[in-house]
Amino acid sequence: MGAWQILAGLGLIFLILEMTIPTMFFLNFAVGAFITAVCAIYIFNWYALTLIFVGVSLISLLFLRPMLVKKTHKNQETGLSAKYIGKTAKVIEKVTPNSGVITLYDERWEARSDHEIPPGTDVIIERNESLIMYVKERE
């Protein structure tokens, strides 16, 4: 069995690991193994191949992984932002810069606004700080 076959097999193992444990970590080693497998067709020195594998894997880890993680997790919001921001709520107690209460999903929330909003008004949740929702009147 040639060195390129061993390295290509190692690359497949890393790809399988990445598919079962999607962390964008093993993918870097798969890239390193596949590129080193191509180099192994022309280079027969295991020390040189090891250096190529380590170098390509590190470069991939330093540059490719951050790009992939940012791209895959870009639009995934969690927590309060995902559930409440941008939603329409109803004012149940007058909302001012210092006090107020809204309801959304049958939940009661403290609310604030730049200007006074009377009870019964529909509002849009713009942001939250801790457990206080900042709202504006729905247009």
Give the model's pLDDT for residue 72: 66
Domain positions in the chain are: 3-72, 79-137
For 49-76, b where at least 16 C-beta lie within 10 A, e where not — what string?
beebbeebbeebbeeebeeeeeeeeeee
Give the model's pLDDT for residue 103: 93
What is the pLDDT tens value at each position of the chain, 139 positions in all?
Answer: 889 999 999 999 999 998 998 778 899 999 999 999 999 999 999 999 999 999 999 999 998 888 877 776 555 555 555 678 889 999 999 999 999 999 988 889 999 999 999 999 999 999 888 788 999 998 7
79-137 CATH: 2.40.50.140
Q: Are 15 and 27 in contact (CB under 8 A)?
A: yes
Q: Are 138 and 132 in contact (CB under 8 A)?
A: no
pTM of the entire predicted model: 0.53
**Residue corresponding to tokens 């949740």:** 125
Give the model's pLDDT for residue 74: 55
Give the model's pLDDT for residue 84: 83
